[in-house]
Amino acid sequence: MQAMHSSRKWLLAAVLAAALPSTGCLFRSHRVEQPVLPAVLQSATRDELVARVNAQAAQIHTLNATVNIATSVGGVKKGKVTEYAEIRGYVLVRQPAAIRLIGLFPLVRNTAFDMVSDGDTYRLWLPSKNTFYTGHNAIIRPSKQPLEAIRPQHILNALLLHAIDPASEIAVLEDTTETATDPRSHKPVEVPDYTLLVLQRNGDAGWYLARKLVFSRADLFVHRQIIYDKLGKVTTDASYDDFHPYNGTVFPASITIRRPGEEYTLTISMVKLLLNQPLQDEQFALKQPDGARLIDLDQPPQNAAQPASPPAK
């Protein structure tokens, strides 16, 4: 009886083995795409990557760039995405915190916007609306207007890498992979990279994840930077591509800045870039024009608008 039971089990196994490959009902195989890897993958330790970040942060003191700016606004919260025509612009940066960003209308090249930050306060001039905005870099009262959600300080934090301070930060190395598009098959593949997780001290509350820096194993440049707030939410996700030497310093020619909270994306492409050239205080001065309406973005809407300044005599 036992022999008969055993023979039935073997018979069932044989039937399944014969049937499954022919029917294909219970499983399916597919080919796994092999990534196109660089000829040589570079290696580095945590300390070496930290040193690379700090060296690059120390190299750049000022930035003066003519750029093209592509903007898209929207996402899940807005229920739609609006893409705006690419415009010409100018970016001025002076370490540690001064930045000015000017955008021009296509074709006519009149000023579309002019915004500046000193690291704490924020000013924005919209000539087409004859409106001048002031406020702090922190978005206290979210706005439905796309330009009112953009802060030049957020752009500065994405444009330049900040040094990793051993007195207040800890860096942890992770051997990771990133999804990339195979140039031949145009399919997603996994490629190896390094990720530095930068933890920052938050007073007595302990430590929090402040940044992730993703290094390509092909060149050991930072190709992506993710910035978090103290609650662990992503505030900025920046990608860096097309690295070129400028004035002896290698810098990305294309930078894409995503702000998921405000649901906007900026892609900044370098047309002309000068690094470490002298910049003066007046180049970061932006005053309210006479007759312009003033809106304080830190105040409730009903109290934010103030009468226009009287014309100069």
185-224 pLDDT per residue, tens: 777 778 899 999 999 998 888 999 999 999 999 999 999 9
Q: Residue 258, SS3?
A: strand
Question: Taking 90 as the threshold, does the pLDDT of residue 127 lie above it?
Answer: yes
Question: Does residue 313 or residue 186 have the better pLDDT?
Answer: 186
Q: Give strand pairing partners of 170.
A: 199
Residue 228 CA to residue 122 CA, distance in Å, equals 21
Q: In this predicted structure, what is the pLDDT of residue 262? A: 87
Strands 98-104 and 87-94: antiparallel
* Cis amide bond preceding 96, omega within 30: yes
Strands 293-296 and 131-136: parallel
Q: In this predicted structure, what is the pLDDT of residue 147? A: 59
Q: In this predicted structure, what is the pLDDT of residue 313? A: 41
Question: Taking 90 as the threshold, does the pLDDT of residue 253 lie above it?
Answer: yes
Q: In this predicted structure, what is the pLDDT of residue 37? A: 55
CATH tag, 46-296 = 2.50.20.10
Residue 18 CA to residue 16 CA, distance in Å, equals 5
Answering whether pTM is above 0.85, one says no
Q: Give strand pairing partners of 57.
A: none
User: What would the mean pLDDT of 68-80 be, rounded to a whole number?
Assistant: 86
13-38 pLDDT per residue, tens: 554 455 555 555 556 666 655 555 55
Residue 70 CA to residue 308 CA, distance in Å, equals 32
Candidates 221, 170, 219, 242; CA nearest to 199 is 170
Degrees (nearest 5) of the Cα angle 106, 108, 110? 90
Q: In this predicted structure, what is the pLDDT of residue 16? A: 44
Most confident of 42-51, 116-125, 171-180: 42-51
Residue 180 tokens read as 């990339």
Q: In this predicted structure, what is the pLDDT of residue 80? A: 84
**Using an 8 Å Cβ cutoff, are 41 and 192 in contact?**
yes
